Chain A
Amino acid sequence: MAGAVSAAARVAARVIAAWLLTWLCGWILVELAAEPPARLAARAAGRLPPDDAPVAARDEVIAAQARGFGLDGGPAARTARVVGRALALAPGPGWRDGRPAGVIARHLAGATLARVAAALAVAIAAGALAALALARRRRGGAALAVGAALAIAMPTVWLCQLLLTASPGAALSSTAAVAILAVAPAAVVALHVGTALAALDASPLAIAVAARGASRRRWHAVHGLALIAPGLAPLFGSTVGFTLAASPVVERALALPGAGRTLVAAAAVGDVPVVLTLAAGAAALVALVAGLADLVARRLDPRIAEAA
């Protein structure tokens, strides 16, 4: 019981650290920018008067933005206020339209997360199947390594373009987005499973199973995958990050709604609260999944816990 509580506390600490660090580092970048935050906020809202406007009018607008968004005071006071809001899980209003950044982030996060989850499920299944199919072939290991390197190396935007060229109806299609998001994680899973199967093939267990008359296919599919499964769990955290990171490109290329597209739109106008909420949310989510995956891996394979 104490072990479970301590593990849960470690995961929680990781999530909080990821959330807070992203906010803090992001805000420090804002403070280091040439323009003061209140001026950036006025620009993001489209309220900054043109360059030839009277200085007094400009200062008045900037002062109003500073009061409205709590951007008055020195850099230390502003940073403390921002970190306090992040700690309270209340990022405050977005600079572009004044809508709460948390609501904007939550509004479209569901669509992105659903696509990422579906892509991961597809990636695990496709990756394992590809590795199993190639493990039975001569020189299958080399083919798998080259294929996986190429799949990981293909720019996501190019994959989208190739798909749209082959099938123009793929735009606005979540299925197409899931397929594209699944390519790189499937290659990672296939590479991991392929390498592990090759190592298992040389084990005494493989010889024993073969001596009892089991086919190579049965050895791989029944025994091999069961032995490899715990090792896949730690991959989950990095793979979620990988897939989540590709979402802005896929959503923009296929014109799909989602948190990634919102992030890019907010980044284009400099809506800092929305950008930081989405980035910190993604970092916290990946930290949560990675932490839980580590726990599952330790549960499934006691050797990992012993090594740690």
Chain B
Amino acid sequence: MTRRLALAWLGLVAAVALFADLVASDRAIIASIDGHWRWRPAAPGATLRPTLSADDWAVWPPIEADPAEVRTAGVLAPLAAPGPRHLLGTDDRGRDVAARLVHGARTSAVVAGVAALLATLAAGLIALGVALGPRSLRAVGLATLDAVASAPALVITVAAAALVGRSGLAVLAALVALPRAADTARLLTAQLDRELAAPYVAAARALGASPRRVLRRHALPALVPTLVTAGAITAAVAVLAEAALTFLGLGAPPPTSSWGELLAQATQHDLAWWLSIPAGLATTATAAALFVLALAPGRASR
């Protein structure tokens, strides 16, 4: 039940991230103007609406606001409480919070996805190198992994973000992935060692299987549950790290919409609840769903 809920929430976040431009935008999704259908016409709603004749029509997004638009209809409305015009109010620049929340899902999804992919790939390669590489390098490799993995991740990420500077979401994801890759590699190395020493692998070898076949058909498939668990944990850590780094002023560069940015704004503006509660709930629910998924493969195998 919990796992299904987690999957449903993650599916919703992924769909919102993918179709953020269709869910929250000041441009029509599709319009029929003078008998011609136009997919996402360039003109914003305020310009397009007065030009539509009686025969023209347009389908508008559920949240008709641009996440980066500072002024709405010529009136600056900073920190406006939720109302009919802005369902979740506005931020300190008069931008629609609901629109920024929707587009923030894309930021979180990109950071989480890229971090999980990078950390898992790097960890897999490192684990293969350590487990199958020369014995003389093995102790050094394991000691290095131990040293990197034991470092407090966010402190290291803050330091690295300061040294690299604000360079975009991909760099942010890479910074989050770095400490996680070492931790995952340590886990994978241990499991690969266990699998390669298992009786079924010895039997496969005795039957004439080559080292490559043993690895491809037996050892690597056994690592998949660990990879899924580690990937889900990395994604959850990335969602939380993005929020923390943005709050500390080292996260996604402005004017990128992100949940962490809304939380940071709430702290600066007397804890405005319409900034804090939706962003906090979205971050918590996404990270919790990923943690629940991370626990799922282990439970299934037990």
- A: which residues have CB within 8 A of B? 13-14, 17-18, 21-22, 26, 29-30, 33, 142, 145-146, 149-150, 152-158, 160-162, 164-165, 237-238, 240-242, 244-246, 248-249, 252-253, 260, 263-264, 266-268, 270, 272, 275-276, 278-279, 282-283, 286-287, 290
Contacts and interface: CB of A to CB of B under 8 A. Distances in A.
Given A17-B144, A157-B243, A241 B159 contact: no
Nearest to B140: A17
A155 B278 CA distance: 13
B152 A245 contact: yes
A155 B283 contact: yes
A242 to B, nearest CB: 7
Which of A29, A158, A161, A270 gathers the greatest number of chain B CB atoms within 10 Å? A158
Contacts of A21: 144, 147-148
Nearest to B154: A245
B163 A26 contact: yes
14 contacts: A14-B147, A17-B144, A22-B156, A155-B284, A158-B276, A241-B153, A245-B153, A248-B244, A264-B248, A264-B249, A264-B250, A268-B250, A272-B163, A283-B156
Interface string B152-182: 1111101111111100000000000000000
Nearest to A16: B147
Interface string B87-98: 000000000000
A162 B286 CA distance: 18
Contact of A149 (B150, B161, B264, B288): B288
B291 A155 contact: no
B267 interface: yes
Contacts of A17: 143-144, 146-147
Main secondary structure of the interface of A (DSSP, over half): helix
A13 B267 contact: no
B51 interface: no
A267 B162 contact: yes
A283 B271 contact: no
Nearest to A289: B150
B164 A162 contact: no
B236 interface: yes
A30 B159 CA distance: 11
B150 A161 contact: no
A248 B155 contact: yes
B57 interface: no
Per CB-CB distance, the 10 closest pairs between chain A and chain B, nearest first, are A267-B162, A245-B154, A153-B287, A158-B280, A153-B288, A279-B159, A283-B151, A245-B152, A241-B152, A17-B147
A62 B243 CA distance: 36
A252 B260 CA distance: 14
B273 interface: yes
